[in-house]
Structure 1
Amino acid sequence: MEIAKPTEADKEQFKTLLAGLPGVEIKAMFGNLGAFVNGNMFAGLFGSTVGLRLSDADREELTASSETLPFGPAGRPMAGYVGLPVQDPAAKIESWAARALDHVATLPPKAPKSPKPKKS
């Protein structure tokens, strides 16, 4: 399975789109980026697609009002996420990203994984 890689411009655009949101941590993930709140991912960048984890009602509203994309590897999109091109108007993505953040912030914080024991 080939993993889509974003350009440096796509990465900078993603970071800029999420810069105004409170409590967000952006991490590198498999050559792409993920945006987290309380340890839960609410947005990600996969190639040139921004994926947003929205409530069911918000996801239905977005897919009914805009052309959306699958988010994730071809043939294995991530369930619960809807994709938008990173080149879409910033105001549109920022608005939906804020809704995704609000939704995911209501989920229980994800506990950090324990380090794996070292092999002797």
Structure 2
Amino acid sequence: MTWKSTGPGGEPLKWSKPPGELVRSFEEKVAGIDCERRKLFGYPCAFINGNMFFGTFTDGLFLRLGEKGAGDARARHGDIRPFEPRAGRPMREYVVLPERVRLDDSLLDPLLEAALRYVRTLPPKNRK
């Protein structure tokens, strides 16, 4: 299944359904966290007080670490990149995790904890 939206020039954007293994990994990680789970553009995501902090997108996982935390994670890991769901439009507080981080709990868990710490500092956001 593909979801469509439009880019800045009106061209259609196509996003693929996330692999089942990725969704299961996401669900396992959020299972013990008091958060709201809902889909955004068809992708499972997790929210605390209305603020998104963790989710799936196409074939990857992303985290919200804040601008400083995202910069620190990119510097520390090298292959962590900014989350850019639309080309040229990065979400500066978010990072996409490379496969080696996604598959290694000793790398993923501290980043997920950092995302939780960061998002809990944000004011509640009303759901639209």
> TM-score over 0.5 for the alignment?
yes
Structure 2, unaligned runs of 5 or more: 1-12
Q: Which of these residues, 54, 57, 60, is aligned with residue 46 of structure 1?
A: 57
Greater shift after overlay, 30-39 or 47-56? 47-56
Q: Return structure 1 stretches of 4+ with deviation > 6 angstroms.
A: none
Structure 1, unaligned runs of 5 or more: 114-120
RMSD: 1.8
**Number of aligned residue pairs:** 112
* Aligned position for 2:25: 13
Is contact 1:17–1:90 with CA below 8 Å preserved after alignment? no
Letter in 2 for 1:112: R
Following the alignment from structure 1 to structure 2, what is the Cα–Cα distance between the partners of residues 90 and 27? 23
Letter in 1 for 2:31: A
* Offset, 1:18: 2.3
TM-score by length of 2: 0.76
String of CA shifts for 1:6-55, please: whole Å, max 9, x gaps: 1111101011122233x211112222111100011011210222111113
Structure with more contact order per residue of length (Cα contacts < 8 Å, sep ≥ 6): 1
Following the alignment from structure 1 to structure 2, what is the Cα–Cα distance between the partners of residues 31 and 57? 28
Following the alignment from structure 2 to structure 1, what is the Cα–Cα distance between the partners of residues 83 and 68? 18
String of CA shifts for 1:54-104, please: whole Å, max 9, x gaps: 133322221011111332424133232111035431232222111111111
- Point out the structure with the larger strand share: 2
Letter in 1 for 2:113: A
Q: Percent same amino acid at aligned positions?
A: 36
TM-score by length of 1: 0.80
Is contact 1:52–1:82 with CA below 8 Å preserved after alignment? yes
